[in-house]
Amino acid sequence: MRTPSRARDYLRLLSLGVLSVTTLMILTGSPRADDGKARPNSGILMSRDLAGAPGKEALVITVEYPPGGASAPHRHDASVFVYVLEGSVVMQVDGKPAETLAAGQTFYEGPDDVHRVSKNASATQPAKLLVFMVKDKGKPATRLVPSGPSSP
């Protein structure tokens, strides 16, 4: 017979698995967008509760954009720190101009930002990001938002 703490551990693992799959599905969407562009591929490297910050957790993921790849407009409801590992990407949150970032450059999204543009800047070379996110525990890491014009 399982002890209550062991059952709780299994439930946590199951919850993390569901959260991981949901996050990957939202980030990657279908393999191709309505505009025919390839979607990014994501992988979760780590998820941890934050000591000293009850109810918060850190999530570390990689996002790989194929040539011409792009994400659908989305938000994270989290503090998101992006580091470009390879290639170059175009990033834009509502209310700010688009930025083209190369390997070694960073990007930040606040909890209230809508990530309107997130795409590979190249039609021929892949791009890869390392993403560190601080979010509310148990809440989705990413959620889609309606498409619409971005603010300059």
Task: Tell me the per-residue pLDDT of 109-129, one tens digit each, with 9 for 90 and over.
Answer: 999 999 999 999 999 999 999
Task: Tell me the per-residue pLDDT of 94-103, one tens digit each, with 9 for 90 and over.
Answer: 999 999 999 9
Asked if 87 and 105 touch (Cβ cutoff 8 Å), the reply is no
- Average pLDDT in the 73-102 region? 97
Structurally, how many domains does the chain consist of? 1
Range(s) of the domain holding residue 112: 4-144
Does residue 105 lie in a domain region?
yes
Of the chain, the percentage scoring pLDDT greater than 90 comes to: 65
Pairing of strands 78-86, 106-109: antiparallel
Output the domain CATH number for residue 34.
Answer: 2.60.120.10
- For residue 42, what pLDDT band results from cuts at 50, 70 and 90? confident
Tell me how far apart the alpha carbons of residues 81 and 135 are, in angstroms, rounded to a whole number.
Answer: 12
Of the chain, the percentage scoring pLDDT greater than 70 comes to: 71
Token reading at 69: 């790849």
Token reading at 49: 């509760």
Q: In 50-68, which positions are buried (b, 16+ CB within 10 angstroms) versus exposed (e)? A: eeeeeeebbbebebbbbeb
Integer angstrom CA distances of residue 41 from 83, 117, 128: 16, 16, 9
Question: 81 has which bridge partners?
Answer: 108, 132
- Average pLDDT in the 54-58 region? 95
